[in-house]
Amino acid sequence: MSTKIPRVTLVGAGPGDVDLLTIKGAKALAAADLVLYDALINPALLDLVPADKPRVFVGKRSGKHEFPQEEINALIVKYAFEYGHVVRLKGGDPFVFGRGYEEIQFAAQHGISTAVIPGISSAVAVPASQNIPLTSRGVSESFWVITGATKYGQISEDIALAAQSSATVIILMGMKNLEDITRVFQVLGKNTTPVAIIQNGTLPNERLVCGTIDTIYQLAQEQQVTSPAIIVIGQVVDLRFPSEQKTKIIQEANQFNLPNGSTF
């Protein structure tokens, strides 16, 4: 039995790219006595954990629940008392559809000290990686972030509410219900609204498929786009420009002498 004081640090791993982990998150991993990690985290992040410290996989992915949430909660408590500092590493931000609050609440109920280190949410980072702004003056004044499947596997009723607005709609975990999601927008006459699906966002194998409400389901089927993926619906999708064009713009802008030595 460890004589260390049990504590749990909940760390958001970010959307996938190793470099998008926060510095504070990296420090927590380096100070861990044991790490519990999910399926969607980049495995390279485990290299930040001291070599002699255990790393325990407790992953859950869409349609595959190797570890029920109740079992994960129990493991967090068990390992905190046995090892001391447990780092719970979860993809994206653990408070955005990550059930992170449930985990630290369970630990706190057992007298364990908890801390939360936020992560960069895939909801905002993944569209940005494809030069898609979630808001833009004159185009979109706000955005919704909605789960694509409730705990019963159905689409959220909030999607119908969001579809009535002019806001950008970001849907996480929605690929299995993509056809049903598009029908919600079609009923409201938004057939030509632009849609982007980004698979494996911020990773080297990132894929992008763009279409409209009427075409995106068929395009996703043809190109075999699967989870994990982010669905972005709204006029902001049409503001996207290719990465090579962005690079050219930056190169051209940096030819000018900007004030205070700043760059574009």
Q: Residue 173 catalytic? A: yes
Residue 210 has what pLDDT? 97
CA distances for 144 relative to 25, 214, 248, angstroms: 26, 21, 32
Name the CATH superfamily for 7-120. Answer: Tetrapyrrole methylase, N-terminal domain (3.40.1010.10)
CATH topology of domain 123-242: 3.30.950
Q: pLDDT tens, 91-149?
A: 999 999 999 999 999 999 999 999 999 999 999 999 999 999 999 999 999 999 999 98
Domain boundaries in the chain?
Answer: 7-120, 123-242
Residue 173's region, left for phi above 0, alpha for psi from -120 to 50, else beta, is left
Asked if the model's pLDDT at residue 75 lies above 80, the reply is: yes
60, 158, 176, 190: the catalytic one is 60
Q: Residue 17 catalytic? A: no
Q: How confident is the model at residue 202 (pLDDT cuts 50, 70, 90)?
A: very high
Q: Residue 1 catalytic? A: no
17, 33, 93, 173: the catalytic one is 173
17, 38, 93, 175: the catalytic one is 38
Q: In the structure encoding, which two tokens stand for residue 101, read together?
A: 């609050």
DSSP of 45-61 = GGGGS-TTS-EEE--EE
Give the helix ranges, DSSP H, for 193-237. Answer: 216-222
Asked if the model's pLDDT at residue 249 lies above 70, the reply is: no
